[in-house]
Amino acid sequence: MIAVQGLAGARVAVLGLGRSGLSAARALAEGGAVPLCWDDTPSARERAEAEGFQCQPFRDARDFDGIARLIVSPGIPHLYPAPNPVVAAAYLAGVPVDNDIGLFFQSFATSAWHSFDVAPRVVAVTGSNGKSTTSALIHHILTDVGRPCQLAGNIGRGVLDIDAPHDGEVVVLELSSYQTDLARSLTPDIAVFTNLSPDHLDRHAGMGGYFAAKRRLFAEGGPDRAVIGVDEPEGRYLAGQLSEGPSDDRVIRVSVEARLTGPGWQVFARKGYLSEYRKGKQTASIDLRHVPGLPGAHNHQNACAAYAACRSLGLAPKVIEKAFHSFAGLPHRSQLVGEKDGVKFVNDSKATNVDAAAKALSAFDRVRWICGGLEKEGGLGALGDAPTVRKAYVIGREAAGFAMQLPVEAEVCTTMEKAVAQAVAEAEPGDVVLLAPAAASFDQYDNFEKRGDAFVAEVKKYL
């Protein structure tokens, strides 16, 4: 556990008692603070009270008398579409609002580091798509070469639940826009920006607010090195803002859409080959076409970002390449479930927005596409013509309306059971039955993992 520093003896309010909220309460108590907790759900309060934490409501500004800080869980709105009433009361009372990520960066370094030969480092990864795979891949590479490391944040353990770092250890964090938007302290050593596409727009009042939340990791944190995906205008803008000039190698530009040139540091993938260029000269090349855990251009982008981060940590290209081949991928992210009679079944339930789904579709030549769910803002226009799709099988409560927007032949199936059964019945050797919903899961499932599990269960009936 990372004990929170700087708040010993202070009364600190904690709003939301899920994984991150309870973790924050424990870390605050470990550091000598007095956490006062609240969650609207009685069962959540009961869990906190069972651990010995005091629960009390915060109805208005007067309830914040004597409170040093409010710690808010990531799912609770703090600004858009409207602040949660407790957060609004804290603002009125002048109480600083923070989250567990802010507490982590405030508390990560300790006096114990004075005895270390190599100070621990933090690699923080954000972006719309690919941040989980990129984070897990960085962690896998470091583990493969024997470098001590931990994986936390939006993937793996809560940031305050990790062990106190050892000499030379690397902590890899996946951070969502919800987490970077509110954290009062953001100081990673290496920060990674994968890409940007419309997502969570209601929570950030549009694309500008969404990008601003991601940008805070770089603008507020001032990382020693920034790895920036430059295939969107926002990434190119961010790289330009952080760089002192074309040869400034503190910024590593990453692309899967263009061959990057210039005197700086670039990593890009073209036609399945990853290339690294520094000072205008190629320094490494890796064939990604036969890396089983990283299929498709979108995963090649993840590979480029992870490669750049690991090169920043001093790893050699050959050891990174070796680790690529043993990376199994993550569940629900281009996960190969199985193959039968020449038909592959791939679970990409994490493709919850249109851009992620489009990238998943482009990874295969002949797709039987299972899609649908709770449609997000912006519609489905970014899919384009979806040329690799032979037919779509649409699930979700609003399946008919979703199907009408698709640029391909579509059948309304509503349920996962029917969609898989129909895709299996019509699939031919060489086809890929792909779950890439391009939508949230909450109309039918608690989360994308449950949706992916449902797909896997139906496929296994056939396999």
User: Which pairing describes strands 190-193 and 225-229: parallel, antiparallel, or unpaired?
Assistant: parallel
d(CA 85, CA 72) in angstroms, rounded, equals 12
CA neighbor of 226 nearest in space, from 106, 368, 126: 126
User: Which pairing describes strands 273-278 and 281-287: parallel, antiparallel, or unpaired?
Assistant: antiparallel
d(CA 80, CA 206) in angstroms, rounded, equals 10
Whether the ω angle into residue 429 lies within 30 degrees of 0, i.e. cis, is: no
CA neighbor of 312 nearest in space, from 88, 66, 147, 164: 147
Q: What are phi and psi of 72, to 5 degrees?
A: -115, 135
User: Which pairing describes strands 335-340 and 343-347: parallel, antiparallel, or unpaired?
Assistant: antiparallel
338, 282 contact by CB (below 8 A): no
Please enumerate, by residue number, every residue annotated as part of a binding site: 127-133
β partners of residue 389: 367
Buried b (16+ CB within 10 A) or exposed e, 208-238: ebbbbbbbbbbeebebebbbbbbbbebbeeb
| Alpha helices (H) in 269-428, listed in sequence order | 296-312, 317-325, 354-362, 399-404, 416-426
Q: How far is CA 197 from the centre of its chain?
A: 13
User: Which pairing describes strands 34-38 and 54-55: parallel, antiparallel, or unpaired?
Assistant: parallel
Most distant CA pair in the chain, distance = 68
434, 369 contact by CB (below 8 A): yes
Cβ neighbours for 263, distance < 8 A, ≥ 6 positions apart: 246, 247, 279, 280
Please enumerate, by residue number, every residue annotated as part of a binding site for ATP: 127-133
Neighbours of 190 (CB within 10 A): 23
Tokens encoding 232: 């969107």
Buried b (16+ CB within 10 A) or exposed e, 15-41: bbbbebbbbbbbbbbebebbbbbbbee
336, 344 contact by CB (below 8 A): yes
Neighbours of 94 (CB within 10 A): 8
